[in-house]
Structure 1
Amino acid sequence: MTLDIRRATPADLDLVAPLFDTYRVFYGKPSDPTLARDFIRARMTHEQSVILLALADGKAAGFTQLYPAFSSVSATHVWILNDLLVLPEARRGGVARALLTAAADFARADGALRLELETDHDNHTAQALYHAMGWTLYDGTLRYRLPLR
């Protein structure tokens, strides 16, 4: 398998949008290709995220989406790896590892302090990969959220 990881551009919308829809379905949302396409198009148009696209033998195999954030205490920026998906047929081929490596390379080259991600407590496969790649849990904090709608 030939694997290529590259930053997605608006010309890649037709490749990324179905991956994003699949990602949302994985997390329990109903499939909505129009919503997925509109959301990804808006992120690209407004340059609100960085999307890295994995192509295996020229076909879309996965993606990751990074969002910018800031650390006030450190007075610098960080990137949040918010979305990561590898299609089932491309799993166990190094695609996730390549996407994570590309994300770290991007954030490092951008001068970010760190790259952060969150995963479900029962996603042991992903947790094992993150650990194997040097990601560490940061303890001592509690994450809260305030629903607004």
Structure 2
Amino acid sequence: MSGLSIRLAALPDLPAVAALFDAYRQFYEQPADAGLALQFIGERMSRQESVILVAQAAGTLVGFCQLYPSFCSVIAQPICTLYDLYVAPEARQTGAGRALMQAAHAHAQQNGFARLDLSTARTNHKAQALYESLGWVRDEVFLYYNKAVPGAIAPA
């Protein structure tokens, strides 16, 4: 995609990033909810709880990835979780996803993160091929679990 650029998202990007985030959630079979997407992304941005990188082409945001800083107790170093990666259908196969992944790696490197982690659906073979082509290694040692916490109280 000619004219593709990757940059940090800024508050004026909020509506466009939220729309991409809503589409991302729908990809993972969640119901469309533009209000929830706007609130969630707005909170991450205003609280500086994540780093959001955006792909822009011809003045339009066509993709994003969201990174959450964390720590790994085993290696006793800061790490970063690449939790979200999404490219709009019309911008797929243009290199936007690859460019976002490379920018995430550069961000981690420049900010002292020892490792990047991510997870993806077992059926998302295209994404897996992209990750592996960029040197990501599938974890064969650890199993990941999660558990819902019904009735959790949201932080103020």
TM-score relative to the length of structure 1? 0.97
Amino acid at match of 1:74: I
Matched, 1:30 2:31: yes
Indicate the residue corresponding to 1:49 in structure 2: 50
What's the CA shift string for 1:90-149, capped at 9, x where partnerless? 011000000000000000100101011101111111111111110001221111112212
Distance in 2 between residues matched to 1:87 and 1:99, nearest whole Å: 13
Indicate the residue corresponding to 1:126 in structure 2: 127
Amino acid at match of 1:19: L
Indicate the residue corresponding to 1:6 in structure 2: 7
CA-CA distance at 1:10 after TM superposition: 1.2
Q: What aligned pairs does 1:67-86 form with structure 2 within 5 A after superposition?
A: 67-86=68-87
Structure 1: stretches of 5+ with no match in the other structure: none
Distance in 1 between residues matched to 2:75 and 2:65, nearest whole Å: 25
Residues paired across the two proteins, number = 149
Indicate the residue corresponding to 1:113 in structure 2: 114
What's the CA shift string for 1:32-67, capped at 9, x where partnerless? 111100000000111100000100121111000001
Amino acid at match of 1:102: A
CA-CA distance at 1:73 after TM superposition: 2.1
Report sequence identity in percent: 48
Distance in 2 between residues matched to 1:28 and 1:16, nearest whole Å: 19
Distance in 2 between residues matched to 1:141 and 1:79, nearest whole Å: 17
* Structure 1 residue ranges (4+ consecutive) displaced by more than 4 angstroms after TM superposition: none
CA-CA distance at 1:21 after TM superposition: 0.6
Distance in 2 between residues matched to 1:138 and 1:26, nearest whole Å: 24
CA-CA distance at 1:24 after TM superposition: 0.7
Indicate the residue corresponding to 2:154 in structure 1: none
Structure 2: stretches of 5+ with no match in the other structure: 151-156
Secondary structure, aligned partner of 1:98: helix
Distance in 1 between residues matched to 2:9 and 2:85, nearest whole Å: 14
Indicate the residue corresponding to 1:39 in structure 2: 40
Distance in 2 between residues matched to 1:5 and 1:65, nearest whole Å: 13
